[in-house]
Every structure is written in structure tokens, then in C-alpha cells.
Amino acid sequence: MDNILTLESIQTYIGQFHILEGVSINVPRDSITVLLGRNGAGKTTTLKTIIGLTPPREGKVIFDGEEVQGKRAFDIANLGIGYVPEHRAVFRNLSVMENLKIAEKKRGDLERKADFIFGLFPDLKRLYRLPGNHLSGGQQQMLAVARALVADNKLLLIDEPSEGLAPILIEQMMAAIKELSKTTTILLVEQNFIMASQLGENYYIIDDGKTVENGKMEDLVKNEALIKQYLGVSLGRDGGDN
């Protein structure tokens, strides 16, 4: 299968701490792949390793046929990766417009994409001139996702988009991500298993810094034992507890 992103036995350290001890992932083109696992398993570090913020000490990151491990983060991002970090890290002292503008990789990106972005997140159009710190948590999360859409990215890394969102906003976010997956590949980290299972086509489970299971999402949903073992959630309950 044609993979846009491949991780081969990644070892990542943060300072003294050995966080990733063998993560191998294939992300097929034009699909949503979901990273699952408990808190502290290494999902966020995996995303940061791909984009180059926490470079791996060993292993390969192959994006679109090119080895990118060891490159600087901005170089990797400019190859066509958009990153949506956890905790809705928008720039609080920049306006919504500037938050989007700063993500331009080519001049005029924002003008070309504005209609598409406002179609997904109509609220942002109304808030266009406001500073980031005037936005509610949900609006900030929308802005963080929108920011990754300004440039023409081939792959989006999205870290916990539903974290702390009200149910109605989770619906809106899910609809947006589904819409996005029609045009881009998405690697999603999501604690909310219901959201993850409805969006994802493929899944990887990371436990203690290692990829332990992977396959089709439809198979995982049927496998209650596996879900219990690694995720500690049952399908009946909202898994967004952190």
C-alpha cells in the first residue's frame, strides 16, 4: 500500500528519559490513522518526533519517500506537514487573522484557503480580528486546526482535538476532520475512543513507548478485550478522562 508516512523503530529521548522505545507506524495515503494509548504512553511524543520537535535518536522517519529524521522542524514542516498541538496552542497575543497568516508557507495561502477554512469553522470568520486570548477554549481549538489548513499540507498531525470540548463542539470538530480527510491524510491522536473509532480507518496502539497493536478500526471495535487491556475504556463510556 502507498504510505505517505513511515516510522521505523523510532527511539526518542527527552533529556534523560527514554520516551519512545520502538515505534513503527505506516500511515496510508488519504486516510485517517488513529494513535491510541493511555496517557503518557508516548502518543504526543510520536507526533513531535515526526515533525522534528523531539528528534529521534535512532530509527527512520520517512515522509513522502524522503528520510526526514534529523532535519530541523521547519524544514520538515515545509515538506508539507501541518501540526495541531495539544492544549489548543494558539498564539494568544496574535489576532485570529494573524494566527492564520503566520502559517502561510507561500504568499497568498490564506486568501486562497479562507473560504474553505471559514466553511469548516464559520465562527472564525466572526472572530477574525479578535486576539487569540479572547477566544473560548473550543474556538481556540478550531483556530489551532484551521491554522494547519492554511498551507497546502499533505499530512496533518492532530493531537487530541476533542480535549475539554463540549459535546456539541466535539460533533462539529468531528465533522470538520471528516471533511478534511477527503483531501488530506490525517494522523490523529485521540483519547475519546468514541470519536476515534468513528473517524479512524486504521489504528495503532502505543503502550509504554512501543507500538503494540495495529489494524483496521472496524476490527478493534469488536475486540473488547484488547480495548480493555491497552486503553482501559469500554465502548459504553466516554474515554476523555485525563
Partner 1 sequence: MRTRSLKQVLPGLILLAVIAVLGILAYRFMGQESFIRTALSGLTLGALYFMVAAGLTIIFGLMDVLNFAHGAMFMTGAYMGWQFYTNPTFLFGILPLLLAFLTGLSTTSLWIPIVSKWKLSEAWAKRLGGLLVIAGLTLIVTGFLKFDLLGLAKTAMVAAMNAGNPLAEATPQEPLGIFWRRPLLLLLGGILIAIANAHPGDKTQVVTFTNKSASWLRLGGLVVLTVLSVLFRESASIAVLKLNGNLRFFMALLVGAGIGAGLGAMIEVSLIRPLYARPFYIVLITLGLGYILRETIQLLWDPVAYSMEVPPIFSQPGKAANLLAWFSGNNLTINILGVTFPSYRLFIIVLGSLMLLGLFILMRYSRLGMIIRAGVQDRNMVEALGINVKAVFSTVFAIGVGLAALGGIGAAPFIPVTPNMGDAYQMQGFITVVIGGMGSYGGAGIGALLLGMARAFGDFLALKFNMSPAIAEASTVIVMIIVLLVRPSGLFGKKE
Per CB under 8 A, which of residues 129..148 are in contact with partner 1?
Answer: 134, 147
Any residues with CB less than 8 A from the CB of 28 and at least 6 apart, and which?
A: 1, 2, 3, 4, 185, 201, 202
Among 62, 73, 212, 226, indicate the residue that binds partner 1 (CB under 8 A): 73
Among 102, 166, 175, 235, indicate the residue that binds partner 1 (CB under 8 A): 102
By CB under 8 A, is residue 29 in contact with partner 1? no
Residue closer to partner 1 (CB basis): 133 or 223: 133
Assess contact for 43 and 192: CB atoms under 8 A: no
Per CB under 8 A, which of residues 148..177 are in contact with partner 1?
Answer: 151
Alpha-carbon distance of 28 to 32, in angstroms, equals: 8
Residue closer to partner 1 (CB basis): 83 or 230: 83
Assess contact for 59 and 10: CB atoms under 8 A: yes
Assess contact for 46 and 55: CB atoms under 8 A: no
**How many angstroms separate the most distant Cα atoms in the chain?**
51
Give the binding range for partner 1 (CB under 8 A) out of 36-44, 92-100, 173-181, 186-194.
92-100
Q: Kindly list the residues in this chain that would bind partner 1 in the complex (CB under 8 A).
A: 51-53, 67-68, 70-75, 77-78, 83, 85, 89, 91-94, 98, 101-103, 105, 134, 147, 151
